[in-house]
């Protein structure tokens, strides 16, 4: 069986450090590993419209931002196919057929949808499209027969929903769809990076992000304003590591070599943490350290972005040709699906012949 990756992001803004540590960096490694027959990276605009239907301009403006972020981290359009979801109508058609395979109670139970619904206060005005977006995600994944979906932890319920749909489809109709596996970041801390404000998840919708395209000054200001330990008032006070966002980010980004370079008083993160817990270490010192690490990590990303920013038409061309290539694959799967579901009337000569026989041959002239 072919090894195929499908993953993507909603164009609701620029991409941030949460995306970077959980999937973006990994995608580049997987792309360059040569172990996959196909790598498809999707900008999920139709999904983003399910809860931004009244603000289409935001989605429209964000497509290029996400595409530039992709290219800036090193996704290479000569290896990976970059596509825009809405440009592949086959995905919408598949979604409609899969809707019959899922009941509404199951959709209301989805923990990610539940969590995302809460701050939006939809209540009785919950858009049906939003409730059903896990089904459309199943269509995206299965249309390309993806085997592997690199994602953050919040997406696990979506992959589970996809697997259920695949099993149901294959058992009712025909065994043609592929059950995908989620690929989570190896480091636990990268599976759900908190926001700079200390909230559970860095998220474009929550305004608590460090963006890949932020300027050095923006990064520094955000790091210096990050949530740490509210009980650590005097430098001499013992500090807490758990829930301390700066330490969480250090867990995600820091390597021992960074100490020799930027903070030679310590050999490793364990030593720095121990000092904080003992008391006597001020927030500014380890915030500055984190800032150095992030500046080093994001500088090449920003530089690559600047190159692509100078040729925006080429970026749109990459998306157009990627969408066309992806559409051809999705169309093949849709044909198979319609065949399995017996909605292939005009291609089924046996059907036409049997009806011809029933009516033409047996109806007296």
Residues that bind ligand ATP (CB under 6 A): 9-10, 12, 18-19, 22-23, 151-152, 154-155, 192-193, 201-205
CB of 185 to ligand ATP, least distance (A): 7
The residue among 22 and 81 lying less far from ligand ATP, judged by its C-beta, is 22
**What are the residue ranges of helices labelled H in 99-178?**
104-109, 111-117, 128-131, 133-143, 156-172
Nearer to ligand ATP, 150 or 239 (CB): 150
First to last CA, the chain: 54
Question: For ligand ATP, which is the closer residue by CB, 252 or 334?
Answer: 252
Q: What is the torsion angle, in degrees rounded to the nearest 10, for the CA atoms of residue 91, residue 50, residue 185 and residue 182? A: -40
Choose among 12, 11, 31, 9: nearest CA to 20.
9
Tell me the C-alpha distance between 346 and 341, whole Å. 14
Nearest CB to ligand ATP, comparing residues 17 and 329 = 17
Tell me the closest approach of the beta carbon of residue 259 to ligand ATP, in angstroms: 25
At closest approach, how far in Å is the CB of 354 from ligand ATP? 48
Q: Which is nearer to ligand ATP, 10 or 222 (CB)?
A: 10
Count other Cβ atoms within 10 Å, centred on residue 25: 18
Considering the complex, state which of residue 154 and residue 276 has its C-beta at the smaller distance from ligand ATP. 154
Provide the 3-class DSSP secondary structure of residue 80. strand
Residue 48 CB, shortest distance to ligand ATP, in Å, is 6
CB distance 177 to 339 below 8 Å = no
Please, what is the minimum distance in Å from the beta carbon of residue 21 to ligand ATP? 6
Contact call for residues 18 and 163 (beta carbons, < 8 A): no
**Nearest-5° angle of CA 309, CA 314, CA 318?**
115
Distance of closest approach, residue 222 Cβ to ligand ATP, in angstroms: 14
Under a CB-based contact definition with an 8 Å cutoff, are residues 337 and 94 in contact? yes
């Amino acid at each position: 069986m072919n090894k195929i990756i499908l993953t993507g992001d909603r164009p609701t803004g620029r991409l941030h450090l949460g995306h970077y540590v959980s999937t973006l960096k990994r995608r580049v490694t997987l792309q360059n590993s040569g172990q996959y027959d196909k790598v498809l990276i999707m900008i999920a605009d139709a999904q983003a419209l399910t809860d931004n239907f009244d603000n289409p301009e935001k989605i429209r403006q964000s497509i290029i931002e996400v595409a530039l972020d992709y290219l800036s981290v090193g996704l290479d359009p000569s290896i990976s196919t970059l596509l825009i979801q809405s440009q592949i109508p086959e995905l919408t058609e598949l979604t409609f057929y899969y809707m019959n395979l899922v009941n509404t109670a199951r959709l209301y139970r989805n923990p990610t949808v539940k969590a995302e619904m809460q701050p939006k206060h939809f209540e009785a005005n919950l858009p049906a499209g939003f409730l059903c977006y896990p089904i459309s995600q199943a269509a995206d994944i299965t249309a390309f027969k993806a085997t592997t979906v690199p994602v953050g932890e919040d997406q696990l319920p979506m992959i589970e929903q996809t697997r259920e749909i695949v099993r149901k489809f294959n058992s009712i109709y025909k065994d043609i769809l592929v059950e995908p596996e989620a690929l989570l970041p190896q480091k636990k801390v990268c599976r759900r990076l908190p926001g700079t404000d200390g909230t559970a998840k860095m998220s474009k919708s929550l305004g608590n992000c460090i963006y890949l395209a932020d300027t050095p000054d923006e990064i520094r200001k955000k790091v210096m304003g990050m949530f740490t330990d509210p009980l650590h008032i005097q430098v001499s006070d013992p500090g807490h590591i758990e829930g301390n966002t700066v330490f969480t980010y250090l867990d995600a980004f820091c390597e021992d070599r960074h100490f020799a370079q930027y903070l030679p008083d310590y050999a490793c993160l364990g030593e720095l943490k121990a000092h904080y817990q003992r008391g006597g270490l001020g927030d500014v010192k380890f915030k500055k350290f984190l800032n150095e690490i992030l500046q080093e990590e994001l500088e090449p990303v920003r530089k690559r972005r600047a190159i692509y920013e100078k040729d925006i038409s080429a970026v749109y061309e990459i998306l157009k040709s990627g969408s066309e290539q992806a559409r051809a694959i999705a169309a093949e799967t849709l044909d198979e699906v319609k065949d399995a579901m017996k909605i292939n009337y005009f291609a089924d000569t046996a059907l036409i012949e049997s009806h011809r026989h029933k009516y033409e041959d047996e109806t007296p002239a």
